[in-house]
Amino acid sequence: MEAVAHVTRGEVVAIDGKTLRRSHDRAEGKSATHMISAWASKNVVVLGQLKTEDKSNEITAIPALLDLLALDGGIVTIGAMGCQKAIAGTIIDQDADDVLALNGNQRQLYDDVTLFFDTGAASGFGDIAVNHHQTVDADYGQIETRRTWATTALDGIVDPGQWSGLNSIGMVEAEREIDDQTTVERRYYIASLEGNAEPLGAAIRAHWGIENRLHWSLDVAFREDDCRVRKDHGPDNMAMLRHLTLNLLRQETTCKRGIKTKRLKAGWNEQYLFKVLTMAS
């Protein structure tokens, strides 16, 4: 992967897990394999992956995966499961920035951040130093307005020093209009970024590329969830091969088709297969 991609300054590296649904084996008492992946948003490739036995072990698997990567200058985004002090410390120690989602697994911190933004939003933030950014997208009959607030005012946070590199907190409000229905969802974050709402919002949005361009592609183009390989290290090895294959197919740009069609072409055309396999050379 070092031959085809590297983390550039400011690039988002999204960390997320995916369960290989049919890799479980009840007869052997084996649970489904769960893989943690690191996704480079700009290069659109998997930088690394690590197996964990079940989802509860993501907390210990994520630092191990981060240690395998060269993250200097990047922005690492992780869902609420990875909002842990040790994980934040690992990212900062690699001279990278972090954006960590919050929910109830960090109850005190979550309550502090939600109280700050919900109270501030209700009053228009008044004299509070908060940076704001807004984007509007319209597609397929849906209008989505995303509002991001960020601040370096950490006075309301209990002992912020226990979080390595914590410089700002943020809130994203997503308002979706579909036909005559409007829904509003708020999500909250801590970050080592300097309290500017625009790069914070961009990093949070880039994080979802791991769902849309990695996990979705694995399910649709590779039918990963239908794979019944389950013996020994088979599920782990197949997951690794699918990641490597997806990386190489994305790097090959002469064929202006989707991943599924590129796979078929590589099976039918040995010259094209050779081109795909030698992209890293």
pLDDT of 114 above 50 = yes
Average pLDDT over residues 93-102: 95
Average pLDDT, the chain: 87
pLDDT of 59 above 80 = yes
* pLDDT for 53: 63
Instruction: Give the containing element (helix H, strand E) for 182.
Output: strand 181-191
Nearest Cα neighbor of 179 from 206, 142, 208, 147 is: 142
Alpha carbon 145 to chain centroid distance?
21
Helix (H, G, I), strand (E, B) or coil at 3: coil
* pLDDT for 148: 96
* pLDDT for 141: 75
Helix (H, G, I), strand (E, B) or coil at 250: helix
pLDDT of 32 above 80 = no
Question: Tens digits of per-residue pLDDT, 177-232?
Answer: 988 889 999 999 999 999 899 999 999 999 988 888 888 888 988 988 888 887 88
Question: Tens digits of per-residue pLDDT, 61-71?
Answer: 899 889 888 88
For residue 147, give the DSSP letter: E
Residue 201 and residue 146: Cα distance in Å, rounded?
8
Bigger pLDDT: 179 or 263? Answer: 263
Alpha carbon 2 to chain centroid distance?
20
Work out the percent of the chain whose per-residue pLDDT is above 90. 47
* pLDDT for 20: 80
Average pLDDT over residues 82-109: 93
- 12-277: which CATH topology? Transposase Inhibitor Protein From Tn5; Chain A, domain 1 (3.90.350)
Strand partners, 46: 39
pLDDT of 1 above 60 = no
Strand partners, 17: 36
* pLDDT for 31: 73
Q: Counting beta carbons within 10 angstroms of the beta carbon of residue 3, is it exposed (0 to 12), middle (13 to 18) or buried (19 or more)? A: exposed
pLDDT of 29 above 70 = no
Q: Which pLDDT band holds residue 56 (cuts at 50, 70, 90)?
A: low
Work out the percent of the chain whose per-residue pLDDT is above 70. 92
* pLDDT for 280: 54
Q: Counting beta carbons within 10 angstroms of the beta carbon of residue 126, is it exposed (0 to 12), middle (13 to 18) or buried (19 or more)? A: exposed
Bigger pLDDT: 53 or 125? Answer: 125
Residue 176 and residue 173: Cα distance in Å, rounded?
10
* pLDDT for 4: 45
Question: Tens digits of per-residue pLDDT, 250-262?
Answer: 888 899 899 999 9
Q: Counting beta carbons within 10 angstroms of the beta carbon of residue 91, is it exposed (0 to 12), middle (13 to 18) or buried (19 or more)? A: buried
Question: Tens digits of per-residue pLDDT, 266-275?
Answer: 999 999 999 9
